[in-house]
Structure 1
């Protein structure tokens, strides 16, 4: 088995272990139990659970970026909406387990205290914001969105709503569908130009 295959197996095992045990409780033994590897094999690749989790979330960022890059649409408005659905509603085969969503929320709570996790969260935030900005800027350039639109501020607002929708979904069980409808109202009334709106 190649190093790449071994690492991929560990990524899958980490996901499964986080779903079952959560961020705070998961151990190297838990992760090893989801593979045919021993704990010592995991330590061959990673010095600690922390290092393994940092690598795992780097892998998640790469996968997330690929999904954002693959967003398509005939217009900037369409691409923006497809991005929103990509962020709020992952495909069924990529939809995160509830336990995993809780683990990610636990991870985010470590951001103020853990530099490695904070850097990951910043990279995730920056990647999402840049993709949103690109779609908004394209819409302004081609006349779909208002010429006076503050692209950076609008992108920052949308990313804040995405993050809030996910946190509320996990923490209090509020459906992300409601956030999506709020975004629709915001985009249609405040961003999309009357002559190009939908």
Structure 2
């Protein structure tokens, strides 16, 4: 399959997922969204599951490209940039419809090893990027020396995951969740002199 066709089908999958959710999504929906026949989608993918795995890989690449790197500037700024990207994720996941649909996909993970493995790669990438940034901040003195980077990263990623779930399931605002996670970072990660200087 040529790259243009692949991208077209994957982008159509994205739009159809936002509209239908994962449970109700069919190859017919994707074909209709792509302006193609179901047979043409079947030519490239023999099932919704196979297409969706490719779609998750496509999302992973987009998401990875957005995340700030640990060597892209002062660790404090990188941490805030990472939190902002993970909390708002407007490019990778614009709109409530996508977040809702992705939560539906997540609910399938306990019953589908392939989906669980793909979603775990998102989690592991975010966790490792967070750990690298925190470790760099400890090394430069921007973050408290007693912080254990792996434990702090685990807490923050868990908080981010919970924030997304609460946003979809209970309607908590983006602003509220962003403020809560940022306050944690300021109070528990920043070195004392930087924490006191934070408004």
Query: Relative to 1, partners in 2 of residues 1:185 and 1:69: Cα closer, same or farther, differing over 3 Å?
Result: closer
Q: Deviations over 1:136-192 (max 9, x none)?
A: 011011111111111101001100111111111111111122121112221111111
Partner in structure 2 of residue 99 of structure 1: 97
Q: Deviations over 1:56-108 (max 9, x none)?
A: 011101110010146886420111001111111134x5552322211100100
User: Is 2:49 aligned against 1:50?
Assistant: yes
Shift of 1:38: 1.1
User: Is 2:15 aligned against 1:12?
Assistant: no
Bigger mean CA offset, 35-44 vs 164-173: 35-44
TM-score (norm 1): 0.93
* Aligned equivalents of 2:2, 2:148: Cα separation in 1: 46
* Aligned equivalents of 1:172, 1:111: Cα separation in 2: 21
SS in 1 for 2:110: coil
Unaligned runs of 5+ in 2: none
* Aligned equivalents of 1:6, 1:101: Cα separation in 2: 25
* Aligned equivalents of 1:70, 1:142: Cα separation in 2: 16
Partner in structure 2 of residue 32 of structure 1: 31
1:113 to 94, 111, 114: 111
* Aligned equivalents of 1:112, 1:20: Cα separation in 2: 23
Unaligned runs of 5+ in 1: none
Q: Is the 8 A contact 1:73 1:82 kept in 2?
A: no
User: Is 2:180 aligned against 1:182?
Assistant: yes
Bigger mean CA offset, 55-64 vs 72-81: 72-81
* Aligned equivalents of 2:93, 2:41: Cα separation in 1: 26
Q: How many residues align?
A: 196
Partner in structure 2 of residue 80 of structure 1: 79
* Aligned equivalents of 2:71, 2:162: Cα separation in 1: 25
TM-score (norm 2): 0.92
* Aligned equivalents of 1:14, 1:115: Cα separation in 2: 21
Partner in structure 2 of residue 162 of structure 1: 160
* Aligned equivalents of 2:110, 2:92: Cα separation in 1: 28
* Aligned equivalents of 1:63, 1:71: Cα separation in 2: 18
User: Is 2:194 aligned against 1:196?
Assistant: yes
